[in-house]
């Protein structure tokens, strides 16, 4: 199976490059599954139903969220009619929506997508490790699903790496999101699970994590807010991770970073050329 996970979409600039590039990438690389983190898609804070529909219509199979899941209050309502929108699985019982979803891929296989949120420097949610453990036990790789993708949305690299090792040999991919800066540690773990500490953002990198640089810089210098954060809307980079799995095991065979457009050095998965 060919999987593309696209990092945090930030604002209009990020949406524009996603909607422009994603359909062609799906065709050129014969992708089976595309997962997008969309928790910053609406002006950097949350997601709206219209944006959700635009991303799905452009070819995404699932959209994961994170700590900004409910910044657009309408998400608390429309998530119930958006079966491919996935919020962190370790929110308390009774939270609207779902923390995982079984997706029918373009090749007829089935993929389980799980979203979890860390707790270090983040909101004090339920334990993400026990929540993911329960999900993996209930739906083992190649018994319940042909592929399993875990989006670990958190601040601490140690927490993301620990989730990778918890899932090693039991998931196709564990991918870190949230920090908006792509790491260089993409690899296949000893048990066969693809991993990357942070996939980075899809947005304007001439910014402070996707925001126009003046306001955050001013707050660091003066310690006084002068206004609200606004997304940077210059040329965006699409940041993603490409993973190819073994059909017999569901584990990763090859993994490579993707960076297209904007100011970062371009990267493509050479194994799909």
The whole-number average pLDDT for the span 174-190 is 98
Cα–Cα distance between 99 and 112 in angstroms, integer?
A: 11
pLDDT given for residue 94 in this prediction: 94
Assess whether pLDDT exceeds 90 at residue 66: yes
Is-contact 202 238, C-beta < 8 A? yes
Residues 160-171: tens digit of each pLDDT = 999 999 999 999
Concerning whether 153 is annotated as a catalytic residue, the answer is no
Q: What is the CATH number of the domain that holds 162?
A: 3.60.21.10
Which residue is listed with tokens 């807010």?
A: 225
pLDDT given for residue 273 in this prediction: 79
* Sheet of strand 252-260: strand arrangement: 85-86, 62-64, 33-37, 2-6, 238-245, 252-260
Assess whether pLDDT exceeds 90 at residue 253: yes
Longest dimension (CA), the chain: 57
Number of domains into which the chain is organized: 1
Assess whether pLDDT exceeds 90 at residue 226: no
To the nearest 10 degrees (0 to 180), the angle between helices 128-138 and 157-167 is 20
Residues 190-212: tens digit of each pLDDT = 999 999 999 999 999 999 999 99
Assess whether pLDDT exceeds 90 at residue 148: yes
The whole-number average pLDDT for the span 211-220 is 92
pTM of the model: 0.97
User: pLDDT category, 234, cuts 50, 70, 90?
Assistant: very high
Q: Which of 68, 153, 180, 186 is catalytic?
A: 68
Cα–Cα distance between 49 and 26 in angstroms, integer?
A: 23
β-bridge mates for residue 37, sequence order: 64
Arithmetic mean of pLDDT over the chain: 96
Residues 72-114: tens digit of each pLDDT = 999 999 999 999 999 999 999 999 999 999 999 999 999 999 9
Q: Which domain holds residue 210?
A: 2-272
Residues 116-147: tens digit of each pLDDT = 999 999 999 999 999 999 999 999 999 999 99
Is-contact 66 117, C-beta < 8 A? yes
Residues 6-43: tens digit of each pLDDT = 999 999 999 999 999 999 999 999 999 999 999 999 99
pLDDT given for residue 252 in this prediction: 98
Report in angstroms the alpha-carbon separations of 105 from 18, 144, 211, 243: 19, 14, 34, 14
């Amino acid at each position: 199976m060919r999987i593309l996970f696209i990092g945090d979409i930030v604002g209009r600039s990020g949406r524009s490059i996603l909607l422009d590039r994603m359909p062609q990438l799906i065709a050129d690389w014969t992708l089976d599954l595309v997962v997008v983190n969309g928790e910053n898609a609406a002006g950097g804070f949350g997601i709206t139903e219209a944006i959700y529909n635009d991303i799905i219509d452009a070819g995404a199979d699932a959209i994961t969220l994170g700590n900004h899941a409910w910044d657009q209050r309408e998400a608390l309502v429309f998530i119930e009619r958006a079966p491919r929108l996935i919020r962190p699985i370790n929110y308390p019982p009774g939270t609207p929506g779902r923390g995982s979803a079984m997706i029918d891929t373009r090749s007829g296989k089935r993929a389980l997508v799980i979203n979890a949120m860390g707790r270090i420097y983040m909101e004090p949610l339920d334990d993400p490790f026990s929540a993911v453990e329960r999900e993996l036990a209930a739906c083992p790789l190649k018994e319940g699903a042909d592929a399993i993708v875990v989006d670990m949305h958190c601040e601490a690299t140690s927490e993301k790496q620990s989730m990778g090792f918890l899932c090693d040999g039991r998931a196709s991919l564990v991918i870190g999101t949230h920090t908006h800066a792509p790491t260089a540690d993409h690899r296949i773990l000893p048990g066969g699970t693809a991993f990357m500490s942070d996939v980075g953002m899809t947005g304007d990198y001439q910014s402070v994590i996707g925001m126009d640089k003046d306001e955050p810089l001013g707050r660091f210098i003066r310690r006084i807010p002068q206004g609200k954060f606004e997304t940077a809307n210059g040329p965006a980079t699409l940041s993603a991770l490409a993973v190819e799995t073994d059909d017999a095991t569901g584990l990763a065979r090859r993994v490579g970073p993707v960076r297209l457009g904007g100011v970062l050095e371009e990267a493509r998965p050479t194994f799909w050329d």
